[in-house]
Structure 1
Amino acid sequence: MNDSTTILRTVEADPTHFADVRTWVFDLDNTLYPRKTDLFSQIDGRMTAFVSELLQVPREEAKTLQKDLYRQYGTTLRGLMEVHRIEPDAFLSYVHDIDYSWLAPDPALGEEIAALPGRKFIFTNGDRGHAERTARQLGIFEHFEDVFDIVAAGLVPKPAAETYDKFMGLHRIDTAHAVMFEDLARNLEVPKALGMKTVLVVPENFETTLGDVWEHEGRDAAHIDFITDDLTRFLKSIRAV
């Protein structure tokens, strides 16, 4: 493994770093598909519309409030539950009513995930329905053992430590032989502390212009082992001989 003070920024990796991994954990949005597809912008827009209607404020004000809740509480939903006591079901149904045809099937990614030795999971702050529709559209759903969603997490989102504990306990994850892939550096801090390897997936060409500025914070943190802008190529390099 690389020295903890040296992050490997590369689309590829030395297979020896992952030779002992038997559990592969993937975030969903902007991780299993590239941020440039902009699928999440649909969800983002619907969250803004939900907040605008709920609080009866203009969209621009609602967008600012939504982003503040997202950053402070991990998800907009959790913030709305904490601050405005909303029921989650209507929110989850509304914000995930989107057009999944924006995603093109990704057989190359599916091939690489299928080739990974051991168990594979999707671990998302979205709901199961959204995860399944996304993964099926990509053509990769069949390669995963299970989806651990925000409902399974008791509506407590990453990066809360209790949510990782619940996931690890439910699926009996041996963290010493596991790796997590995420697009938000803050969501990899707990996995690293638990002994997992960590891979940060960033926009193509390592751009920081996509998404909110804070979402790109932490790339240089010690809890990030690897950083890549090409998940498929990265996975391919792991099994290269």
Structure 2
Amino acid sequence: MNDLAPPATRSLSHVTDWVFDLDNTLYPRTCNLFAQIDTRITNYVMDVTQLDFDSARSLQKTYYRDYGTTLNGLMTRHEIDPDHFLTSVHAIDYSPVIAHPDLVDTIRALPGRKFILTNGDVGHARSVLRQLGGDDLFEHVHDIRAMTYVPKPHKAAYDGFFALHGIDPSRAAMFDDLEKNLVVPHEVGMTTVQVVAAEDYAHEQVEAWELGRAAGPHVHHVTDDLARFLRERP
């Protein structure tokens, strides 16, 4: 459980607004919770496109990479109903996410406001938070509907969130498992933290680029233990 400090490392002592991604950030990727969602997304792409499994999975990952979410790609290219998609892909078993009182207490003790900024939906976020034991932990869950379905990493997803809550990015920190979602936060002045899986994590449903640890200027801190990082934050 090591924190990797890229050259751009900076202090978090000035932060008053703490912004967290949800999936694979507030719970460990080893839960493989998103693997359930991932499979349901592949099946959804199969239904929409009539492609076989392998072809649908390849298209799903292409949309995920190019549009920010598979949903955004499906809406753009196939005009699907986003509410139907979100209901379908989040019909999963949440039991792999176990209570994490240490993380919950550590986030609760942070000075200032706490938010979730997720490309998932509120219902999914609430289910995860119930499992973690942090139902009331966050001031607001800003989800894909609040983003008007324009997801991270697009700048509009962040701009709408900042405007709604009066957030000064220069006094805020962003935590996300995907380094591409930290590019805009860095550009607007947020302190950024990439939350990564342990070195030995591998899963057949996870592409190598999804597990990448970035060393670019847009990633100020990297950790595989969020609770410890927050307790010992610089």
Give the TM-score taking structure 1 as reference length.
0.90
More helix by share: 1
Q: Distance in 2 between matches of 1:37 and 1:204?
A: 12
Q: Measure how far apart 1:42 and its partner are.
A: 0.4
**Counterpart check, 1:6 vs 2:39:** no
Q: Is the 8 A contact 2:197 2:211 kept in 1?
A: no
| TM-aligned CA deviation for residue 214 of structure 1 | 1.6
Task: Give how far 1:60 is off.
Answer: 1.5
Q: Return the alpha-carbon distance in structure 1 between the equivalents of residues 226 and 63 of structure 2.
A: 29
Q: Give the 5 Å matches for 1:1-241.
A: 6-7=7-8, 17-205=11-199, 207=200, 209-210=202-203, 211-217=206-212, 219-238=214-233
Q: Which runs of 5+ in 2 are unaligned?
A: none
Contact preservation (8 Å) 1:7, 1:227: no
Paired with 2:48 and 2:147, the residues of 1 have a C-alpha distance of: 25
The share of aligned pairs that are identical, in percent, is: 49
Give secondary structure in 1 for the equivalent of 2:106. helix
Distance 2:39 2:202 in 1: 18
Q: Deviations over 1:14-41 (max 9, x none)?
A: xx92221100000000000010110000
Q: CA RMSD in A?
A: 1.7
Q: Which amino acid aligns with 1:43?
A: I
Q: How many residues align?
A: 228
SS of 1:140's equivalent? coil
Instruction: Note the C-alpha offset of 1:238.
Output: 2.4
> Structure 1 counterpart of 2:143, which letter?
D
C-alpha distance in 2 between matches for 1:195 and 1:7: 13
Note the residue ranges of structure 1 that are not aligned, 5 or more in a row.
9-15
Tell whether the 8 Å contact from 2:19 to 2:172 is kept in structure 1 after alignment. yes
Secondary structure class of the residue paired with 2:194: strand
Mapped contact 2:99–2:133 kept (Cα < 8 A): yes
Residues 6 and 219 in structure 2, CA contact (< 8 A), matched pair in contact too: no
Q: In 2, distance between residues paired with 1:209 and 1:85?
A: 33
Q: Mark the CA change 1:208 to 1:189 in structure 2 (over 3 Å): closer, same or farther.
A: farther
